[in-house]
Amino acid sequence: MNKFIFGFLVILTTALMGSSFAIGKIGLAYTSPMLLAAIRFILAGFIMAIVVKLIKRPHPKKIKDWSKLSIIGFFQTAGVMGCIFVGLRTISAGELSILTFMNPLLVVIFGTLFLRTIYTLQQWSGVLLGFIGVFITMGAHLDLKTGTLLGLMSAISWSIATLLMKVWGHTFDTWVMSAYQMLCGGFLLLIGSFLFEQPFFKISQASILILLWLAIMASIVQFSVWFFLLQKGDSAKTSAFLFLAPFFGVLSGYLLLDEPVHWYVAVGGSLIFIGIFLVNWESHHTVEKVCRVDSENEYPL
């Protein structure tokens, strides 16, 4: 792939990932958080489900496989996005994006504990730097606001979903899995909205545009571009550019919401960015070694 096109697509997809935090926070002026997340992913999942059906992508046939998709949807969409949208009420979009995107660091820890995956010294150095960055981002003290805890919970839920997809993902078509886990997660968020909040949605031109942006650009387009890049290039090195997503989260919060960027957020965020880069930037030798070890293990999950 042409380097210019690759660079443009990387910036596009990571910018869409990061900017969704600020756009989502703006949307909270028109709707309750869990309802906004629910409508976003029901709409995105429904559109993608129609597309994968029309182009005849292979669908699961066993109830057990649909149950696995539901579990992935619970962690990847309901868990992650529920925590994010509720957390946006109490902390800045930039801080929340930084905390959420530390999930690659948690994948290393959980992968070691539960999947017996072997990681390199470079990757563990990235984890250490990342957690130092989290501590600094929180103001160098345990200021456990509700939004901070929800940001950490979203990262944990995302890392669990990543490991589940690592274990189960080979049994599903990528596009089918994405469509139905979003749809399932969206309905779980809708149930959660009626159980845990007083749902409301103010219909206006602004609220509709925000919803369409989140559902189409920040979900369908972002996902499609990201997986296109993973399929066309070196997936390990492409994943290293995830560090750009929280950068765009902070930048969009500053530009769209006039959120101040405190020195400790800038320093801590920089360490987390470096940590994510070190965790994901693997040589071909490392990738082959890790894949070989994974294929020889029996996953306890």
Rounded CA separation 48/43 (Å): 9
Contact 25, 88 (CB under 8 A): yes
Rounded CA separation 191/89 (Å): 20
Task: State mean pLDDT over 174-195.
Answer: 96
Phi/psi of residue 268, each to 5°? -65, -40
CA atoms within 13 A on the CB side of 281: 12
**Is residue 15 over pLDDT 90?**
yes
Amino acid letter, residue 12: L
**Is residue 286 over pLDDT 80?**
no
**Is residue 78 over pLDDT 60?**
yes
**Is residue 61 over pLDDT 50?**
yes
Higher pLDDT, 241 or 176: 176
Contact 83, 161 (CB under 8 A): no
Rounded CA separation 30/247 (Å): 26
**DSSP 8-state code for residue 170:** G
Question: If phi over 0 gives left and psi between -120 and 50 gives alpha, with beta otherwise, what is residue 143?
Answer: beta
CA dist 83 → 75, 171, 178, 201, 228 (Å)? 11, 28, 19, 19, 27
Residue 292 pLDDT level (bands cut at 50, 70, 90) = very low
Amino acid letter, residue 228: F
Task: State mean pLDDT over 234-238.
Answer: 70
User: In 3-state terms, what secondary structure has residue 31?
Assistant: strand
pLDDT value at position 261? 84
Mean pLDDT of the chain: 88
pLDDT value at position 83? 96
Higher pLDDT, 153 or 234: 153
Whether the CA torsion 43, 47, 50, 56 is positive or negative: it is negative
Contact 279, 104 (CB under 8 A): yes
Interval 139-151: pLDDT, tens: 655 556 788 889 9
pLDDT value at position 145? 76
Q: Which two tokens stand for residue 267?
A: 């320093």
Interval 109-119: pLDDT, tens: 999 999 888 88
| End-to-end Cα separation, the chain, in angstroms | 37
Rounded CA separation 190/78 (Å): 9
Contact 293, 140 (CB under 8 A): no
Residue where the block lists tokens 């949807």: 73
